[in-house]
Amino acid sequence: MTHTKKKQPVAPRANLTMADLAELAGVSKITVSRALSESPLVNAETRERVQALARKHGYKLNVSARNLRLRRSHTVAVIVEMKPSSGRTMWDPYPLSLLGGISQELTSAGYSVLLTTRQGATDAPVQAADGIILLGQGAHQDAVRFYDRLGMPMVVWGAAEQGGDNHIVVGSDNRQGGISAAERFVSIGRRHPVFIGNPDHPEMAQRLFGFVDELANHGIKPLLLRRAEFTLESGIEAVRSLSDRKVRFDAIFACSDLLAMGAIRALVELGQSVPNDVSVIGYDDTPLGASFLPPLSTVRQNWQEGGVLLARKVLAQIHGQTVQSQMMATTLVVRAT
């Protein structure tokens, strides 16, 4: 006595193949393939018949087989690489906002998004992709180099660094953001501005440079206040430390909206008026900042658009075109602070 049919532990659904379909339709595999891919090489009547059969039996294309034959996977790996120092959850909302645009653009181009963090032991999944989008939060040059040597099309989000052999960089124009903030402060007559942020982070460093340079044009030298965290608490604490040190200041440029809101809260506690005594500009234009009281002035980055741009650039690279790094404009949104 023999087992005629083994128990199938994994996927009991018996998928039928093109060969099966071919037999059912009384044609060859290749004709089925052509019919399903709308090739003009098959008779219209045949095509209809095959397609109807495929629908009827719930035929599913075996993507692996097709990928193998075509030598491409129609997949782009999106690697979310955060600064390894912060052992916290890898999922600050920031890089995720880009994901919207990325996913939208890739999907509509017929590509899939393979989401990865670096922690994965193997790079096998990444190598299966046709290209790479690397999202990181500063200080990840080692990651860039690591993936760069895979020799795959790659686009990195961030501050414009050199841009290696295979990869290019897309990011928002942080320097311009810093300049805008400086211009605003100058135009409303502030003379003692403070910068709150973390210059070790390349993107923030750009903001700082823009800020400092523009202010220098007007003979102003801002105070740099380092903060590693971009939370509300960190902002509160930052302003308190300024107050403790009896520092005189009349403007704050913070590297995130949360930081800015924290700062404002601390200022109010200290009896300072915003924006009369101290003017505050945040960064990111989060929805929260807009409905904060008072509504927060901020530098806007368009994440959605950034994601779309990232996607377009990888796709272009995959299609063999030469593409260039690009910085996206930032906008100063002046509200009440």
Partner DNA sequence: CGATATCAAGATATCGATATCATTGATGCA
Partner DNA sequence: TGCATCAATGATATCGATATCTTGATATCG
- Residues in contact with DNA by CB under 7 A are 15, 17-19, 26-31, 33-34, 36-37, 40-44, 46, 60-62, 65-66, 68-71
**Among DNA, its own copies, none, partner that 1 touches (CB below 5 to 8 angstroms by kind):** none
Task: Kindly list the distances between the CA atom of residue 251 and the CA atoms of 68, 158, 230, 334, in Å, as whole numbers in the listed order.
Answer: 59, 27, 18, 14
Binding mask 290-309 for its own copies (x = CB under 8 A): -x-x----------x-----
Question: Does position 152 bind its own copies by CB under 8 A?
Answer: yes
Q: Which residues pair with 332 in a beta bridge?
A: 299
CB 175 within 8 A of CB 207: yes
**Among its own copies, DNA, none, partner that 11 touches (CB below 5 to 8 angstroms by kind):** its own copies
Backbone angles phi, psi at 333, to 5 degrees: -105, 110
Give the nearest distance from C-beta 303 to its own copies in angstroms: 9
In the DSSP assignment, the letter for residue 116 is E
Give the nearest distance from C-beta 27 to DNA in angstroms: 4
* Residues within window 217-256 making contact with its own copies, judged by CB under 8 A: 231-233
Cα three-residue angle 116-120-122, rounded to 5 degrees = 110
Question: Does position 336 bind its own copies by CB under 8 A?
Answer: no
Q: Can you tell me which of 39, 62, 86, 241 binds its own copies, judged by CB under 8 A? A: 62
Give the nearest distance from C-beta 119 to its own copies in angstroms: 6
CB 31 within 8 A of CB 46: yes
86-117 as b/e: b if 16+ CB within 10 A: eeeebeeebbebbbebbbebbeeeebbbbebe
Smaller CB separation from DNA, 63 or 290: 63
